[in-house]
Amino acid sequence: MVKIFLFARYAEVAGARELDIDLPASMTIGEVWNSVRKKFPAMAEIRETPLVACDRKYSRFSHRVRGGEEIAFFPPVGGG
């Protein structure tokens, strides 16, 4: 089981800020993101690559999830 946190627009589109998802062992965070997008069809339209944190540390989509972690997805931010 993995706890997923969605922030900003992602939470709005999914209609949820937190999810508990059972996932196969050793998925990458990128595969977790794809699973979340499949669970909420409205998220399929999101094309940008989110920022991601695993257990409160920024991470990469290639990071392997062991189970029991907390994964957070944030929309990319811009500034000027």
pLDDT over 70 at 55, yes or no = yes
Q: Is 3:67 a contact under the CB 8 Å cutoff?
A: no
Q: What is the pLDDT averaged over residues 44-48? A: 86
Q: At 24, list the tokens.
A: 């196969």
For the entire predicted model, the pTM comes to: 0.89
Average pLDDT, the chain: 91
Q: What is the pLDDT averaged over residues 13-39? A: 91
What the chain holds in terms of domains, given with CATH numbers, is 2-74 (3.10.20.30)
Torsion of CA 29, 31, 36, 41, to 10 degrees: 150
pLDDT in tens, 64-80: 998 889 999 999 886 65
